[in-house]
Amino acid sequence: MTTKIHAICDALGNPVEFGITSGQGADITQAEPLLENIDPNAFLADKAYDADRLIDRLIQRGITPVIPPKRNRTTRRKTDFSLYREQNLVERFFNKIEQFRAIATRYDKLKSTFLAAVQFASIIILLN
């Protein structure tokens, strides 16, 4: 069984929201549920999140989408690549969190227990 951890981080790379899904699910399915409780100025994500529905929803909420367009898009959307470079903060967070053996190997059987372990590891990262 594989698992994906979905996270939204602030401008400093600190985690704000988490979600856990099966490894086969698409990343984009968790974008809107994770954004419900927060109101960021911009949403930085990779090409997996390039969908008209999500981008339209972000614009309606006044959130600037900073998502590079997929290669197969007929109409190319402009992307602020200088701001997109900051997306590596999320990748750095995942690198830190996977240093915890229980997170990297996913020993927990229950989703709620695994999510609690991810949250606990995030607290430890924030305190260091």
Mean pLDDT confidence for 91-101: 91
Backbone angles phi, psi at 7, to 5 degrees: -140, 145
Q: pLDDT category, 1, cuts 50, 70, 90?
A: low
R_g over Cα of the chain = 15
State how many domains the chain has.
Answer: 1
- Does the pLDDT of residue 29 top 80, yes or no? yes
> Chain-wide mean pLDDT for the chain?
89
Q: Which domain holds residue 112?
A: 3-127
Q: What does the pLDDT read at residue 107?
A: 80
pTM: 0.81
Q: What does the pLDDT read at residue 65?
A: 92
Strands (E) across the chain are located at: 3-9, 15-22, 42-44, 64-66
- Does the pLDDT of residue 59 top 90, yes or no? yes
- CATH number for the domain harbouring residue 79: 3.30.420.10
- Does the pLDDT of residue 92 top 70, yes or no? yes
